[in-house]
Chains A and B, each alone.
Chain A
Amino acid sequence: MKILIVGGGTGGSIVANNLARQLSGKIRDGEVDITMLSASDKHMYQPGLLYVAFGEMMPDELYRDQASLLESSINFQVDPVEQFKLDENWVKTQSGKTYDYDILVIATGSRVMPNKTPGLDEGAHSFYTEKGAVELFKSLREFEGGKLAIVVGVPHKCPIAPVEFTFALDQYFKDRGIRDKVEIKYHYPINRIHSIENVAKWAKPEFDKMGIEYETLFNVEEVDVENKIVKSMEGSEYQYDMLVSIPEHHGMGVIEDNDLGQNGWIPTDRYKLTMNGHDNVYVIGDTTNLPVSKTGSAAHFEAESVATNIASIIKIGTPVTEYDGKVMCFIEAGHEATYAMFDYLNPPDLKTPNKSMHWLKMSYNQMYWTSVRGLL
């Protein structure tokens, strides 16, 4: 039985490690083979980029060698997939090799698309890449006052990020003693300040307390880089001194190029996590088109469910569990934090932020490596 995992991010790594543990006997006996194909030999802890943007983490702290995170029984290859032949159960990679499989797991993730909006790439900072986060930090350090605008494109990875970033900005300028010289304005594309209703209800009074202005129904149409004006499709505009964007995301190019899903999001069964029309193809993490957050947390819980089911199908011929839409997100709010936990049926119920939750998040930033090894 050949299991092929495409993508070495959070979801791909957890599913591979969990399978290697659950099927260790069969791997030893040569009945099961697990191969992972990844685009990189490095693994990045992406939520750490938010801390890099405020000088609280250094970029090198976010990386580990991918091979060091995987069970030794996993055949790990740095060779990105370029072609999927789902009807014939094989893929072709950049090096020209083909890999056939009995079970395929697609966990290729997502990418930012700032160039979809005129002027956004040139005119706005973003912390979704290492380079962007470092440049944003340098600009924030030089910022002595003025109008700072935050704009949000949808869909985007980590739905809590715009709110977290805004809270962190408020705290950063307070710590520097120049909060009264900075006008922070938050723009959001729908008619409330966050897509998750209870997060919006919770964040609004927090914004009011911090003196953060907000405008909803603001979908960025273009950025006039020369005059520093961001314009919305709804007709309003805002003149800024510094602009930070949470750019729109798409799935990876290889998914779009192979027509596996519109904008790179693969149509996925919300409970079984199989690709629609392909029972031996599983999709996890950002790559799905599911109505759940595109976060490491969702990828983690999905990976556990998929690994359990693949292992049980191999052992007893049937899946034993279903993904219930569970997501758990920490929300940093200055030097305090809270969390949002929700699933397909239950919306999040946010508690007042406190120091202990902030430390739990700090701890998780380190414990992530234990989690991705399949231990937590």
Chain B
Amino acid sequence: MSVITVERKVLEKNDEIARRNRELFALQGTFVINVVSSPGSGKTSVLEQTLQNLKGQLNIAVVEGDVQTDLDAQRIAKFDVPVVQIVTNGGCHLEAKLVNDALQNLSLNNVQLLIIENVGNLVCPSNYDLGEAMKVVVASTTEGDDKPLKYPAMFRNAAVLIINKIDLVPYVNCDLEMLRSNALKINPSLKVFEISCTSRQGIAEWSDWLKQQSLNHSHEIAK
């Protein structure tokens, strides 16, 4: 009997393609966020509100990931921004290769901010680097305040937490302070925004921060 010592990361191939994506984004000066959450937390609504606020201030493009349909891409296209839909046909997450393929149909020329909306799933997307600058996790109040403890990897790997549907707090069993503190137990450096896509509370603060991040990024690259 003989043994081959390997010590190889299972997802090294994905990581390598993600590295190439990252190089491409850097070359174009594009700031890229990977938006993740469970299904129904309001990722697409957050995108719509963000686009409404930032349109005309920043050149934005969107990649939509879904298991089926291009319904989300249709919603985003109304804002007159370049959008590409990736349909995973059952796949529960986006991989770097899928994003790379999507970029064949999306010019990043002059694009300052690329928003990738991942498939709604709090487990699988956390393992797959797409080449983004940061993951943004959306958690809504209707999901309860214990999600960060139940799905720690997603909250650990994100840089930003958007707590959505805060207008529903009076009606649901969710303690905002508890949700925030559970998330910070997993990832003390999380930047947290509390928003509502219905009342638009907190949207300006989030969009302004995102805009500033994108502009800082372009300046860094230009140096």
Do A and B share a complex? no
User: Could you tell me which B residues sit within 8 Å of A by CB distance?
Assistant: none
